[in-house]
Structure 1
Amino acid sequence: MGMGMGMGMMPMHQQREGHQSQYRKELDVLINTQDHTEDLYLADNAAIFRFTSSSLFNVVYPLMASGESGFPIDGFDISTVTYQGGTIDFPLPIYVHQNRGGELEGSSYLGFTKHAYLAFAQVKHAVEGVQKARADSINTNKPGSESRDTSSDSIEAHELESGTLLTMQLQDGTSEPSEPGVDQPVKIRLTNLGEIIAIMIPVLLTSPDVVSRLQSSLRSLGDLLSINAEEKLTPNPPEFTAMVSIRTRTFQSASSSCLPEADFRPLSLSLLAHADRQISHPKVPTSTAAWDSASTATIKQRILEIQKRRERLAQEGREWDMEEMAVRVKCAKYVYTVLFCAGIVVAGGLVCGFTVGEQIAGVDPFNIAMFTWLLAGFIILVAKSIRVVEWPWRDFLLGRVTCRSLSELRDVTGANEQDLYLYLLTKESETVLITRGPYNKMFVRREEHSSGGFSIDIKPEVRTLVAAGLILVKVSMQDGSALVCLDLRRGSEKRDVRTSIRHSGNEAGDHVCRYPPRPGDRIQDVELSRAPVWAGLRWNKILGIYHAADRKVR
């Protein structure tokens, strides 16, 4: 037997040497042989290997524990959210990812969100597989379920209490207008290692590193195959919103971002993951638990009202003429109504003058007519001045008004002021509008002189900035805390702005709030400013996404 083993089996080091010599021979042949087809073969394999190896690395590496977050090894919240920002006629899909250490990265590039949809679809498929396996297991164990003792029930209850929570929601653009934000996300408590691995790997595929590598690999493959690989090999995803999160019970208990009184949240619990709370509604204050306590029918009704409000604004906005310094709005209906009312008053005075005649002794009836003329003129002057500061007679008679500030535009159109701010901020790249203060810090084209420019004289709310792609992140410093702004608006990848944030870093030249408002402060507004290059803001830890939805920003 020993002889047979010695003849039939070769020592491991000799096997490795044999393989290495075989590889060496193959390499020598490939190097010495001038064959163009073999070069293409090697290039194709190198491109495929580069994508698979880097994707595998980006999946395995996040599984390693990191001490930067300050949480225990089993305390983490890995989340990815894609929400629909912008306006009805200028939608802006925004992607944000939070890794195991709590660091954030995002993008609004359409090609990026297009490829991210594939990863979300894989997560949904994995969740459906886990649900099916559980259903099959329940059906298999159902006959013997009555024989279980109470101790096993208590163990299962303990496992459910201390397990890992998966939250997943994926909605495409085929939903009804009243549906987004209403359907409850799928929540599964993962209690064994098999389920965690089955879900964790697809969730990690939603990370920006994997999506970016997929983009670059498809681009390289298209160069090799002389085709547009992104169009040929990537299905066109629908307009969608998605949220996926794996959060452990340890993170829930150890992180201060999960406390009810905290003004910051992890990505999975933040405003970004609640699309129904990103738009203000007068009947549902977001500062309370009104959305959570409201019925599904009530929430649908409120969202439908918001949807109609934004659709009406988008329809009216198409008829506006945006200049560099003003926005010109057609208001013929308003002008004709004012003129009609003034005409009725004048006609009433004339009729009174002719009908009364000399019936009233000592009274000239045409004095009443003269008074009605004065009254009609006063009505027109008030109607011209109550909405805008200056309204030339020519524009008035042509049925149009020139608005030189956001408050004037609100008064003329009757639209919600936060919707108007979002509309102008989102469509800034398509217009020639130049803005001026006092609250135009978020706009790119700003007029430094107070004499010119369209005045942004209404403060935006935090949720309005979130809908526009501007996300405030709370960070911890040695002498307190601060807010750092992530700019994920369209075209941000071409501008020198911050689209990601790490635990240790500095901010210079971008929007920051050095002293966030506290409950006892007299002024509760978020004061944003540009950090000077010579005095960059330095922090040592990310706390979470700022969660004060209805707080004003100046």
Structure 2
Amino acid sequence: MASAPQELSLLHPVNHTNLAAYPSTTAMSSKSASGTTLTPLGSIPATNAGNSRSASLRNRHTAVVDSSIPSKVSVVPPPTTTQLPHINTDDVFKAAFPLQDKEISELLDCDYDSMASYHLTPDEEAERVRAEINRLVSIVQKNDNVLLFTPRNDESLAALKASKYGYVALADAVANVLRALRICNVDNDGISLLNAKIDITPEKFRVAIARLSPDFYIKKKPQTTQSGQVAAAGAPAAPSYESCCDLVDYLTASLARVMTQMANGSSWHNSVLGVLAKLAAKMKVLLDDLESNCVTARGNGEFTLESYLHTFGNSNSTQETQVPDADSIFREVSKSDDQATFHMHCIEQQRIRSGPVRLLKRLLQDLASTNNESGMPTTAYEMLSVVMDTGYKGFKAHLCQDRDYEFSSTSDPHDLNFAHPGFNILIESIEHIKTLNRSTPSHQPVRSPSKDATSLTTKIEWGYTTDGPIGKNVHGASLKSGLKELKLHTMGEISSVMIPLILASPHLSHISKSFFHMFYLTADVAEEVRPYPETPYNAFIRLYTSKFKAPSAEGVLRLADATHKGLFSKDFLLKPHASRGGIIPTIKGLLPQKRTDPSLRLLRLMDEMSAWVYVETAVIVQCRFYVFTIMTLAGVLVGGGLAIGLTLETRLEGVDPFNITVYAWALAAFLALVSKSIKVRDWAWADFLRGRVLCRSVSELSSITGYSDQLILAKLLHDEKESILVTRGPYNSVFERRAERNGDGFSIDLPVKTRTLLLSGLTMLKVQTPLGYGLVCLDARRGRHYSVVCHRGIGDKDSEELICQDIDRLTASNSNKRKGSGAAVVTLPMKWSKELEWRRVEGVYSELDAAFV
């Protein structure tokens, strides 16, 4: 990568020092640097087998982690952001080492993220964690500066060309960092298992130990230096120690900035930064000799498991296949008055670590992209994240397609708020990379592993706004007018985009929200911890490579194409199919209204439909004009007939004029009865005379209002979360609040179409099943929390899914009907079920006029 502009500098310039200068971690030893005999982490001496769990872990000294290798962070003022309050590094240090203030000094050998087993003294640990804290606090305090994964030298991972070998090198480095994180988790879980078993069971702990086996990982040992030479086979050298540490720095810096921008509060900031600093420091020590440290961690874990079984018995471990919800346990413990025991300390450490550790683990897993179920190579991918207004009246929905071609979504406003910091970092990084590349037109990556990898290109397409939709998205017009595109040249640029994009995904934002929810409810009442106010925004981010190919299955649309075409836009409701004949007759008048400005038409529609009143089995609609018209005509007939009788008298010989009056009155009654019954099945006179009607089905509501049935269904789906309306069949499968069998409710007697489902936040995804193809619904309807559709949808499922089975056979059957009778609608049965199993997700179902029955 070209040299950075002069305005760029290191946020925390600390000399890089190889771990070779520190105490060796190459060989296993039973003694610490001070000569004290060590007991594997979390172990229980045999003599204490009958004691309580809080009496364990007394025979070793705590040691620490490496943290003195901060990576380069570009400092360029982007658009101004809210400055965080001052964060005191001493307070963060106390949060990282809470037992430093305790009088019970023997507890110090049992702290979480201890490094005693890896031959570091407490002083070395404190020094390295202190350096990490200084680095993270500096990055957080200067939150108006851009975070970039920039190379420290020409041989760094970030300097690699954006090629096949660059992606391989990134995957190897991520695998090493993930392995180091698993060691940290095994060490901490050993303490929790023996002292405060909340989110860990013996069986889960045994699996975690097994995952440290070399069979689970790439057999490449990190090197202390990197020559930059490419192997004879064309593959790059194994990721160097420095490159792995640079990646740790950027990951923890990104997490620190994102999490501190989610919420404000000293306890929140101190806890998050303290946990991340300790994790970063420890992972750097582990990365220095990963294979040897894995052996040490496995030995410690196995000893801990044996100690647990010796203390509590084997029957207890085999029965506890799952544990209660961790959040509920944290809440109950927070009410306890016993805050001085080591047991409580272990619970508190698990509480503050649960969020950052889960986020970092998931971030690394998504970054590694080890899922091969998509059938595409590592260099062929398309990542997409879209935040947009959709549905009737508009609500925010976040749809995501990850690197493995799996789909997730959320429309929960709090999830969207917690995703916003990730988008902020992402947009700032993109804009700065764009500026940097423009200022250096001859920009070329320093390292170019091979000539045959030049055919691969990586690009990002983006749009972001806080003041309305992206581009001119009217009537489903393309979003292209509001999007920009940029080519990425190095793995540093790709990582600077991909990592914030993952942090802004629905899954990670949901984890963040859940963690904050638990943290707030279990924090001390005197601590002020509040999320930052919500800021409306729309975003379209698409990161893809030239090797990515669109799905080949028939009837499939890419999520990016569906978004470009505006299929999720609320303006799509105003296309001619949304009302009969391209006009919108309303309950306020009988004459069709001419086309006007789309925004005005939408406002008028929302105003009219907002007057609807929901009861459990019907929708009450005001129709005073209709009733007034009918009653006026009937009144004219009644009055006219009476006038004829009184006026004619005997002028017509042989004719009683009042017979004409009777006929006129009968006609008036007939007109009133027919007009009252032709639109709804049962219209009480009391409601009729009050100018209102109780519509008990979609067809009745469409007949009364003149609106398209699909527009009405979109409105009902939009309001379902907040209404009390109970629906019944025959086509109410898509609704959640359904009447019991043979129960009363509002009848969904017209089928919903694919385009209406898309507008309501329900995306039908085509999946490959053993016997053909099926459909699974990605549910992002209004207010819905995190939803996901992954490859390999098999086995036991927690909840039912909205599915359609064997659609290829049904589609073929409908095709034959169309040839014979000219019918144009594909009808597919939909139901809630756990029985559909699939191997791979193909994409968005593209038959927009398919009707689901």
- Regarding TM over 0.5, the answer is yes
Summarize the alignment of residues 277-288 of structure 1 with structure 2, pairs less than 5 Å apart.
279-283=572-576
Unaligned runs of 5+ residues in structure 1 are 1-9, 142-154, 286-299
Cα 1:36–1:396 shift into 2, 3 Å: farther
Partner of 1:312: 607
Cα drift, residue 213 of structure 1: 4.4
Cα drift, residue 309 of structure 1: 5.0
Q: 2:274 aligned with 1:45, yes or no? A: yes
Structure with more of its chain in strand, by fraction: 1
Given that 1:327 and 1:404 are in contact with CA atoms closer than 8 Å, whether structure 2 keeps it comes out as: yes
CA separation in 2, counterparts of 1:445 and 1:480?
A: 31
CA shift digits 1:458-490 (9 cap, x unpaired): 111122223333221111122211011233345
Q: 2:811 aligned with 1:518, yes or no? A: yes
Q: 2:466 aligned with 1:172, yes or no? A: yes
Out of 246, 256, 274, the residue aligned to residue 552 of structure 2 is 256
Given that 1:313 and 1:415 are in contact with CA atoms closer than 8 Å, whether structure 2 keeps it comes out as: no
Which SS does the other structure have where 2:852 is aligned?
A: coil
Given that 2:275 and 2:356 are in contact with CA atoms closer than 8 Å, whether structure 1 keeps it comes out as: no
CA shift digits 1:230-249 (9 cap, x unpaired): 42xx3x23233322111222
CA shift digits 1:10-58 (9 cap, x unpaired): 9975732499738997759997873599999889612664566655554
Out of 502, 519, 528, the residue aligned to residue 204 of structure 1 is 502
Partner of 2:671: 379
Out of 415, 438, 451, the residue aligned to residue 707 of structure 2 is 415
CA separation in 2, counterparts of 1:395 and 1:177?
A: 46
Q: 2:102 aligned with 1:34, yes or no? A: yes
Cα drift, residue 379 of structure 1: 1.1
Which SS does the other structure have where 1:328 is aligned?
A: strand
**Aligned amino acid, residue 831 of structure 2:** S
**Aligned amino acid, residue 227 of structure 1:** E
Partner of 2:400: 97
Partner of 1:297: none
Given that 1:328 and 1:400 are in contact with CA atoms closer than 8 Å, whether structure 2 keeps it comes out as: yes
Out of 715, 723, 727, the residue aligned to residue 435 of structure 1 is 727
Given that 1:219 and 1:230 are in contact with CA atoms closer than 8 Å, whether structure 2 keeps it comes out as: no
Partner of 1:501: 789
Cα 1:200–1:301 shift into 2, 3 Å: farther
Which SS does the other structure have where 1:457 is aligned?
A: coil
Q: 2:384 aligned with 1:79, yes or no? A: yes
Aligned-CA RMSD value: 4.1
Given that 2:774 and 2:804 are in contact with CA atoms closer than 8 Å, whether structure 1 keeps it comes out as: yes
Given that 1:349 and 1:368 are in contact with CA atoms closer than 8 Å, whether structure 2 keeps it comes out as: yes
Cα 1:504–1:273 shift into 2, 3 Å: farther
Given that 2:390 and 2:570 are in contact with CA atoms closer than 8 Å, whether structure 1 keeps it comes out as: no
Which SS does the other structure have where 2:763 is aligned?
A: strand
Cα 1:224–1:490 shift into 2, 3 Å: same
Summarize the alignment of residues 438-477 of structure 1 with structure 2, pairs less than 5 Å apart.
438-450=730-742, 452-477=744-769
Which SS does the other structure have where 2:730 is aligned?
A: coil
Which SS does the other structure have where 2:573 is aligned?
A: coil
CA separation in 2, counterparts of 1:208 and 1:68?
A: 21
Summarize the alignment of residues 88-237 of structure 1 with structure 2, pairs less than 5 Å apart.
88=393, 92-137=395-440, 163-172=457-466, 184-193=481-490, 195-215=493-513, 218=516, 226-231=526-531, 234=532, 236-237=533-534
Unaligned runs of 5+ residues in structure 2 are 1-16, 27-31, 37-59, 65-96, 112-266, 280-352, 444-450, 579-594, 818-824
Given that 2:775 and 2:804 are in contact with CA atoms closer than 8 Å, whether structure 1 keeps it comes out as: yes
Cα 1:247–1:265 shift into 2, 3 Å: farther
Partner of 1:540: 839
Greater relative CO, 1 or 2 (CA 8 Å, sep 6+): 1
CA separation in 1, counterparts of 2:486 and 2:839?
A: 33
Q: Relative to structure 2, which stretch is displaced further, 269-278 or 25-34? A: 25-34
CA shift digits 1:304-325 (9 cap, x unpaired): 26623541344322xx2x3322
Partner of 1:238: 535
CA separation in 2, counterparts of 1:125 and 1:500?
A: 28
Given that 1:77 and 1:266 are in contact with CA atoms closer than 8 Å, whether structure 2 keeps it comes out as: no
**Aligned amino acid, residue 192 of structure 1:** H
Given that 2:461 and 2:543 are in contact with CA atoms closer than 8 Å, whether structure 1 keeps it comes out as: yes
CA separation in 1, counterparts of 2:673 and 2:467?
A: 48
Given that 1:267 and 1:273 are in contact with CA atoms closer than 8 Å, whether structure 2 keeps it comes out as: no
Given that 1:165 and 1:187 are in contact with CA atoms closer than 8 Å, whether structure 2 keeps it comes out as: no
Which SS does the other structure have where 1:250 is aligned?
A: coil
Aligned residues: 494
Partner of 2:692: 400
Which SS does the other structure have where 1:190 is aligned?
A: strand
Cα 1:542–1:401 shift into 2, 3 Å: same
CA separation in 1, counterparts of 2:361 and 2:842?
A: 27
**Aligned amino acid, residue 163 of structure 1:** T
Given that 1:177 and 1:307 are in contact with CA atoms closer than 8 Å, whether structure 2 keeps it comes out as: no
CA separation in 1, counterparts of 2:628 and 2:25?
A: 95
Given that 1:82 and 1:241 are in contact with CA atoms closer than 8 Å, whether structure 2 keeps it comes out as: yes
**Aligned amino acid, residue 843 of structure 2:** G
**Aligned amino acid, residue 707 of structure 2:** A
Given that 1:352 and 1:369 are in contact with CA atoms closer than 8 Å, whether structure 2 keeps it comes out as: yes
CA separation in 2, counterparts of 1:43 and 1:252?
A: 40
CA separation in 1, counterparts of 2:688 and 2:472?
A: 39
**Aligned amino acid, residue 528 of structure 1:** M
**Once the two structures are aligned, what percentage of the paired residues are identical?**
27
Cα drift, residue 547 of structure 1: 2.5
CA separation in 1, counterparts of 2:18 and 2:704?
A: 88
Given that 1:387 and 1:411 are in contact with CA atoms closer than 8 Å, whether structure 2 keeps it comes out as: yes
CA separation in 2, counterparts of 1:440 and 1:189?
A: 45
Cα drift, residue 521 of structure 1: 4.7
**Aligned amino acid, residue 210 of structure 1:** L
